[in-house]
A and B are shown apart, each in its own frame.
Chain A
Amino acid sequence: MSKFREHFSRLAGVAVVACVISVPAVAGKLGIGTEATPEEVAGWDIDVRPDGQGLPEGEGSVTDGEAVFAERCAACHGDFAEGVDRWPVLAGGRDTLKSQNPVKTVGSYWPYLSTVYDYIHRAMPFGDAQSLTPDETYGIVAYLLYMNDIVTDEEFVLSKENFTSIRMPNEGNFIDDDRPDTPLASAQEPCMSDCKADVKITKRAVVIDVTPEGEEPDGGSVD
């Protein structure tokens, strides 16, 4: 608490200098809100971190996971996690990240296995979230590791105990934000007149003609 108060008063000081509009001062606690019960916290606190914090007791094998995946996941993601139609591809894509069309999957891109557990448990199956048991989730995660060749033993069993021993291939390729990465006006005053000799049109949206209901383009997409 003391650190918070220190931080809070420091920020408040900055705010007075920087802003014309001030934030109403609040002296200490207002006594609003109700203490959360352990049961309430346990029901909602579902997140899992890379160090394993938040993992529930349980386990699941590759073969367990294959069965659950076939029943609950394969209709959209394919029997082998290869993706159906436009639904996300979960396996494959290794060594494509530098290519023109990178395939970003659990195996090729995701840095931490904890994210796979956390996301599947909180948000999947799409339309029936938080319906998977811990054992089912461990099994699906094990199956995805197998489909991505991160584990190669079909008898592999993923559990709370061995979870953090699994490292993902692309973990080392994430860097923290290092912007700004283009020239600043403060460094070089932008040109205002006679800046270019000639200007040519190089690309036209009308040529691609995908706005908004044309053919699916080769260009960028979001998901």
Chain B
Amino acid sequence: MKSGDDGKLPRPTRRGFLKGGLAAGGLIAAAGGVRAESDPANLPPNVADWSRYLGAGVDAAPYGMPSEYESNVVRRSVEWLTASRESSINFTPLHDLDGIITPNGLCFERHHGGVAEVAPTDYRLMINGLVDKELVFTLDDLKRFPRVNRIYFLECAANSGMEWRGAQLNGCQFTHGMIHNVMYTGVPLRYLLEEAGLKTNAKWLMPEGGDAAGMNRSLPLEKALDDCMIAFKMNGEALRPEQGYPARLVVPGWEGNMWVKWIRRIEVGDEPWHAREETSKYTDLLADGRARRFTWVMDAKSVVTSPSPQAPITHGKGFTVLTGVAWSGRGRVTRVDVTTDGGRNWHQARIDGPSLDKSMHRFYYEFDWDGSDLLVQSRAYDDTGYVQPTKDELRAVRGTNSIYHNNGIQTWHVKANGEVENVEIS
């Protein structure tokens, strides 16, 4: 049987598929699992052109890009979410990725005043306030401190925020893609603070961005001394401009808003500042009209990335790989359970690859699909005993207007034809 002969899904031509994929935010095209027709001329017993003729030489791409056949693997945005493109969000294509490392060019973006274009020679980091000596560091200065390498997830506090009231966006890129997971290289923040010398009444820090939003947050000193970093590399290369080039704050396990990009200053104080980003925003409104503030940590969470609405099952019934990602801001993920029948029965998934503190984990569950409808969910646990709750459990405590910190269990409805839909179930 020729591949693509089962007739259960529309099979657009590759040209049409790629064209659609390049359209702004086109979701139909985002169904990355739909394969193009094969060209028989390239298949055995024929010998394909690439087996006969020379390919490009070594200098064709001084900085290499993905295969043209992967051009649908891109960040996408949802325009109605925000009023401007400069204070907005886009989404990592989780459904097309595997492993735990997010490629730099696919890491989601969240800016409040656009991307600051900072010249590295003009970069300065100031430490002032309750210190013995107020200091200014150049980028070269930062690179003279002892360095560490750490893999951490960065999740926007608003990830899945559009789903508080129900199933709304159809694809894990949109429901869960405000996250990336990379290896950071940088300086432990405590080295810089020690260089300045903290006064005895120092209790809080205020990291501040050098962008036009002047992003500022209050950070308790304990966290700063524990595991925060000033990072200047991600996945081995310099930070991307949209990720804070040339230096950003890394706040492991805590909401992405605090990971101040283009960081230009850290003030040391004895009280929090109650900046706009920790009063008007990044506070979580409860049903009784009160609001939680300083909800820093990102709780344990997971999502099945395939099958998912953008990654339907295209091979028909039979052996099937289900995969997804899990993470916790409180520590390591120790276990992920998966159900295919809407939570009636659960199976322990297989975590593969590194299991690191406050990092993304990759899980798999292989099963023999009989072609019937599935209701797929995943449920993560971390090493503090926290278990990922259902959305209904969260709503019972918080109502539906919190915007932030939605780590509820996601449900995908896999239909008999392999298409997948974002749903909620009883």
Interface on A for B, CB 8 Å cutoff?
1-4, 7-8, 11, 19, 23-24, 26, 28-30, 32-36, 40-41, 44-51, 53, 85-88, 97-98, 100, 102, 104, 106, 109-112, 114-115, 118-119, 122-123, 126-127, 129-130, 173-187, 190-196, 198-206, 208, 210-213, 216-223
Q: Considering the complex, give the chain A residue whose CB is closest to the CB of B344.
A: A196
Q: Which residues of B contact A7 (CB under 8 A)?
A: 221, 225
Q: Is the CB of A24 within 8 A of B293?
A: no
Are A212 and B27 interface neighbours, CB within 8 A?
A: yes
Chain A residues near B83 (CB-CB < 8 A): 85-88, 223
Cross-interface CB contact of B195 among A2, A33, A180, cutoff 8 Å:
A33
The contact sample of 22 A-B pairs, CB cut-off 8 A, is: A4-B194, A32-B144, A34-B135, A41-B126, A44-B264, A122-B216, A126-B86, A173-B290, A174-B293, A176-B294, A177-B292, A179-B299, A185-B387, A199-B375, A205-B421, A205-B422, A206-B422, A211-B171, A217-B162, A219-B164, A222-B81, A222-B161
- Tell me the smallest distance from the CB of B213 to a CB of chain A, in Å: 5
Known: A23-B148, A104-B285. 9 other contacts (CB 8 A): A11-B225, A32-B195, A114-B274, A185-B387, A195-B343, A196-B343, A203-B423, A211-B78, A211-B169
Q: Known interface pairs A185-B387, A220-B403. Does A213 touch B79 (Cβ–Cβ under 8 Å)?
A: yes
Contact of B194 among A29, A97, A211 (CB under 8 A): A29
* Residues on B with beta carbons closer than 8 Å to the beta carbon of A115: 274-276, 279-280
- Are B206 and A217 within 8 A (Cβ)? no
Interface string of B122-136 (1 = CB under 8 A from A): 000011110011111
**Which of B241-249, B359-367, B391-399 sits within the interface?**
B391-399
Cβ–Cβ contact B213 & A123, under 8 A: yes
Q: B168 on the interface (CB 8 Å rule)?
A: yes
Shortest C-beta distance, B402 to chain A (Å), equals 9
Is B285 within 8 A of A97, CB to CB? Answer: yes
Tell me if A8 and B344 are in contact (CB < 8 A).
Answer: no
> Does B381 make an interface contact (CB < 8 A)?
yes
Report the stretch among B5-13, B43-51, B96-104, B185-193 that lies at the interface: B185-193
Taken together as a complex, chains A and B put the C-alpha atoms of A102 and B76 apart, in Å, by 28
List residues of chain A with CB within 8 A of the CB of B345: 192-195
Contact of A35 among B80, B135, B216 (CB under 8 A): B135
Which residues of chain A come closer than 8 Å to B193, judged between CB atoms? 4
